[in-house]
Amino acid sequence: MTQVKVRFAPSPTGRLHIGNARAAVLNWLFARKHGGDFLLRLDDTDTERSTEEFARGIEADLAWLGLAWDRFARQSDRMAQYDAAIAKLKANGRLYPCFETAEELELKRKVQLSRRLPPVYDRAALKLSQAEIEALIAKGGKPHWRFKLEHRPTGWDDLIHGRIEIDTASLSDPVMLRGDGRPLYTLTSVVDDGDLAITHIIRGEDHITNTAAQIQLFEALGHAPPAFAHFSLLVGADGAGLSKRIGSLGLGDMREAGLEPLSICCLLARLGSADPVEPRALLSELAAEFNLERFGRAPAHFDMQELELLNARLLHILPYPAVVDRLPPGAGESFWLAIRGNIATLAEAQDWWQVVHGPIVPVIEDPKVTQAAIAALPPEPWDGATWKALTQAVSAATGAKGKALFHPLRLALTGRDKGPEMQALLPLIGHDRAVARLRGGERG
């Protein structure tokens, strides 16, 4: 079986947002599931908007997500390959020059629509003789070049949608070259996918209408078309499109909000599929479970609140080695295991580190209870059983039970009325700090 090879091909005209991050995640997981190859290709032929800063930013965003690439390419480095493909298509009569202006084409479309006809290019340029073409060029005409489609049903077995077939007679011959000679996306992308032996193209369903023409272009260039999978597009929790809000859904914003990159991957790996969204501690676990056939055609609903809740659920299961480098200096595994179930972002670990090590402002709600606790505190070392022994002793001395017992002790020892289990926090706080706090003497 041929090794799976996929690609993620962003244009470096901005940073990654949740929509194109989804394409990256799905392609990466598919490659890893099948022991394949993940190519990062920067489609940077739009020289007016592409910048090196955005290119570096995209690479940084992918690295943050944990999506390492196996190969790298830039379209700006491959102009010779596009020139060769253009020459081949011209020689085979599959590219032809067109001289209509944008205004003339728009007028044609309006006339067709007024007659209730599909706005398909009428191939008027094919009627030009070679002499007419040369005369137009001599007068300063700069033609754009179209790919001549073969008018026939062209189909593929989509890995998500099933069998799709399009009669290319219903399509306009796509423009491949601008009037200034620059190749357009359809040409460069197909040339790259063919030359770099891409086996699967996994992308949004907004590209379905382009696929039939691209299949014919693959064939005209001598390449076997890859397999295609078109996933549904993201919509908001309310079902509305995300296009107008996508600027506020950048990965940079999510990073600043303290979200874990793994939580984003966990959400995107399942969004739009029949499988429930669940936290996983490793990307390799996500890849092992990934199944493209589980994805459906219905729009995938993206909800920031769902992502935030998933982020908390992920933190609650992450092992200490996964976070040790980002915890406060000196924080050990016992601290992490004590607090991870009570945080929504990792930044909150610093708050609990402060609670443990102080200084804090103790709250003395019931002096009788706290004084009894001072007398009942056992000598160290302490462990998970110390809290139970302490509360039993205080209850026996004061008669306090339930909330009347536990709440005053938590307020005095942590300054908070809720939080991690005290049986885990108390050994971290230690004897001396505990005594000082129970006396109400520690201050921030």
Question: At CA 148, angle to CA 146 and CA 150, rounded to 5?
Answer: 155
Rounded Cα–Cα distance for residues 249 and 260 (Å): 15
The answer to whether residue 286 is domain-embedded is: yes
Range of the domain at 248: 236-315
CATH code: domain of residue 241: 1.10.1160.10
Same domain, 43 and 188: yes
Report CA-CA distances (Å) from 265 to 24, 48, 186, 201, 440.
10, 32, 29, 19, 46
- Say what the pLDDT of residue 238 is: 82
d(CA 254, CA 14): 16
Measured in degrees and rounded to the nearest 5, phi and psi for residue 207 equal -95, 0
Inside any domain, residue 382: yes
Are residues 442 and 330 both part of a single domain? yes
Number of domains in the chain: 3
Structure tokens at 46: 């739009």
pLDDT tens track, the chain, 444 positions: 589 999 999 999 999 999 999 999 999 999 999 999 999 999 998 888 899 999 999 999 999 999 999 999 999 999 999 999 999 999 999 999 999 999 999 999 999 999 999 999 999 999 999 999 999 999 999 999 999 999 999 999 999 999 999 999 999 999 999 999 999 999 999 999 999 999 999 999 999 999 999 999 999 999 999 999 999 999 988 887 776 555 568 999 999 999 999 999 999 999 999 999 999 999 999 999 999 999 999 999 999 999 999 999 999 999 999 999 999 999 999 999 999 999 999 999 999 999 999 999 999 999 999 999 999 999 999 999 999 999 999 999 999 999 999 999 999 999 999 999 999 999 999 999 999 999 997 654
pLDDT computed for residue 245 by the predictor: 56
Whole-model pTM: value is 0.92
For residues 397-422, one letter each, b for 16 or more C-beta atoms within 10 angstroms of the residue's C-beta and e for the rest, the string is ebebeeeebbbbbbbbbbbbeebbeb
pLDDT of residue 46: 84
What residue type is assigned to position 56 of the chain? R
**Do 32 and 60 reside in the same domain of the chain?**
yes
| In a shared domain, residues 267 and 337 | no
- Please report the DSSP string for 332-371 in residue order: -HHHHHHHGGG-SSTTHHHHHHHHHHS------S-HHHHH
